[in-house]
Amino acid sequence: MKSKSISELKKYNPTTPSLRSRVIPNYGSVSRVLRDKSLSLALKKSSGRNSTGRITCRHKGGGHKRSLRYIDLNRNNGYYSDTHCLSTEYDPNRSSMIGRCFTGSFKPFYVLSPTDMSPGNISSSLSLLSTRGIQAEHSGAALCIKDITAGSSIYNINGKLCRSAGSGGVLLKVDEKEALIRLPSKVVISVKSSGYATLGKASNSNHKLRKQGKAGANRWLGIRPTVRGAVMNACDHPNGGKTSGGTQPKTKWGKWAKWVSTRKH
């Protein structure tokens, strides 16, 4: 964190104990414009409950009011060479930034912003070119995977993978049918080369360096406190109501919490 410049991270004067350790990314480059109401919808909070009212995901509730942005993940509108970027905006529903773009016919749409996307530039949507060998400097271009040069960094793969802040995969090998992609987790997957991806990496790479500084900052995001099972009552958790001696640590649903693999192979 010390290697990061002041322009990339924002620190606060220690006027309170919580602000002493609070560090967040500097959002000075984000455009301070109102959201496009034609591309957004009011979002109702579920607070971790399903359709029957039961809590299926704990530690959720409260938080600031949000609105859902309709984002063109498949870049249905971004295939034109005359696509322009109007602004880079904050989206409360994801960690990366989004960009408001419009076509030559002034049709607005939202896209996941790459790292070097700036307002006013022309988006390099070169997928109309059927030639191979598109280089990595055209960041933000939505292309068919088989038209991307091997070794390039890509994100928003098929509208599903590598969409979080600063994430991006590497295209290892590509042919007419399949393509090998190395994800940020170092896992190599095989996808159809007829799918689409975006060149570059997702924006807001400093998101992982943030420090909330106080518990209230998480409450703003809709995250409620996490209570240990050992301090609960016996009716609330398998580990509650007694000492931990002689019993294995378990989850709330009675499964072993340690020494058991939870990955589905």
Q: What is the pLDDT of residue 107?
A: 87
Asked, for residue 43, whether it belongs to a domain, the answer is yes
Asked, for residue 262, whether it belongs to a domain, the answer is no
| Closest listed residue to residue 222, CA positions, set 69, 45, 19 | 45
Q: Encoding tokens for residue 197?
A: 């991806």
Planar angle of CA 28, 77, 75, nearest 5 degrees: 75
CATH number at residue 84: 2.40.50.140
Q: What is the pLDDT of residue 131?
A: 39
Assess whether 249 and 122 both reside in one domain: no
Would you say how long the chain is, in residues?
A: 265
Q: What is the pLDDT of residue 164?
A: 95
Assess whether 236 and 211 both reside in one domain: no
Asked, for residue 263, whether it belongs to a domain, the answer is no
Report pLDDT digits (tens) over 115-170: 887 766 554 444 333 334 444 456 788 889 999 999 999 999 999 999 999 999 99
Q: What is the pLDDT of residue 75?
A: 76
Assess whether 199 and 161 both reside in one domain: yes
- For the chain, give percent helix, strand, coil, nearest 5: 10, 25, 65
d(CA 174, CA 150): 7
Asked, for residue 265, whether it belongs to a domain, the answer is no
Q: What is the pLDDT of residue 81?
A: 55
Cβ(170)–Cβ(193) below 8 Å: no
Buried b (16+ CB within 10 A) or exposed e, 190-203: ebebebbbbbbbbb
Assess whether 148 and 163 both reside in one domain: yes
Asked, for residue 264, whether it belongs to a domain, the answer is no
Assess whether 31 and 74 both reside in one domain: yes
Q: What is the pLDDT of residue 7?
A: 66
| 135: CB partners within 8 A, 6+ apart | 149, 152
Domain that holds residue 187: 1-226
Assess whether 56 and 111 both reside in one domain: yes
Q: Number of folded domains in the chain?
A: 2
Burial class (CB in 10 A: 0-12, 13-18, 19+), 101: buried
Assess whether 137 and 155 both reside in one domain: yes
**What parts of the chain have a pLDDT lower than 70?**
1-7, 77-82, 119-138, 244
